Amino acid sequence: MPHDATIAYEEDPNHMIIWLDLTIGDPKEHIHLKKSFSSQADPKNETPVKLFDREYDDILDVVGAAPVGFEGVEFLFAAFTNAELCIKCFEENQDKRIFFITSGSLGKAVVPIILDRFPHVFTDPVTDEPYSSIYIFCGVIANHLEWALRYRNYVQMFDFEADLLSRMVRDIGGYFLAEGKQLLDEDPPNYPAAQHRLTWSHELYQRYGKMEHCSIKTELNEVNELLENIEEEMASSSDEDD
């Protein structure tokens, strides 16, 4: 089933993070990445409740996705130590926009399979361009270059969790920006859904700027301009209905 980029309901997330790694359940591993996920999925909540390692045990290797917060934005989330169950999760969620984190060793086996069976999940349905939303985390990048380079248009490789996290935050912010613009191009424009996505984009871009201690003014200005236009259009529509 091809990925449908349009979003019918802004309260129904069509985006998902899948994480495959043998050591997810180890409290000493992936501390930095785990801190980004919370069990409170309300982006308006400034103090989300962080997921604990015992909660990862409840989520692990269950094909169904759990709603979580990722850097303050609502996401569906699934975590696996088992490659076959991970692939099954892709099978059952291939209509969603998926951001995939994997270890190098498991990625070597799984990435070729998912790109062969579910190429549409990692391909823009409008431009037919590949999404580089497979994030490979490995201790030594050189050990995985040979196989990963065959999928260079789809994968990004990291040996530091902080770098992976900040890149994924920026990528997802860009995804929400593009999705918000697409919703505005519909006839008629879907203003509520676009506003929802652009608000998330703004949140993630801000967090990226703080993570990297850099200016992301161009992207934020674009998002702010679109949000202002939406507010004006919605206010105008409301006045006409009165």
pLDDT per residue rounded down to tens, the chain (242 residues): 333 333 344 455 688 889 898 887 665 666 656 666 654 434 444 554 454 455 556 666 566 677 777 766 778 888 888 999 999 999 999 999 999 999 999 999 999 999 999 999 999 998 999 999 999 999 899 999 999 999 999 999 999 888 888 898 899 999 999 999 999 999 999 999 999 999 999 999 998 898 888 989 999 999 999 999 999 999 887 656 65
Residues 111 and 61 grouped into a single domain? yes
End-to-end Cα separation, the chain, in angstroms: 42
Q: Which residues does 153 contact at the CB level (< 8 Å), separation at least 6?
A: 130, 132
Kindly provide the residue ranges of all beta strands, DSSP E only, lying in 104-206, ordered along the sequence: 134-137, 155-158
Residues 116 and 236 grouped into a single domain? no
C-alpha span between 168 and 37 (Å, rounded): 13
Is the entire prediction scored with pTM above 0.85?
no
Residues 48 and 141 grouped into a single domain? yes
Residue 41 lies in a domain: yes
Among 99, 134, 159, the domain boundary falls at 159
Q: For residue 76, report the phi and psi dihedrals to the nearest 5 degrees.
A: -90, 145
Residue 10 lies in a domain: no
Residues 223 and 179 grouped into a single domain? yes
How many independent structural domains does the chain possess?
A: 2
| pLDDT of res. 13 | 63
C-alpha span between 137 and 105 (Å, rounded): 9
Among 107, 128, 159, the domain boundary falls at 159
Range of the domain at 35: 15-159
Among 159, 194, 222, the domain boundary falls at 159
| pLDDT of res. 8 | 41
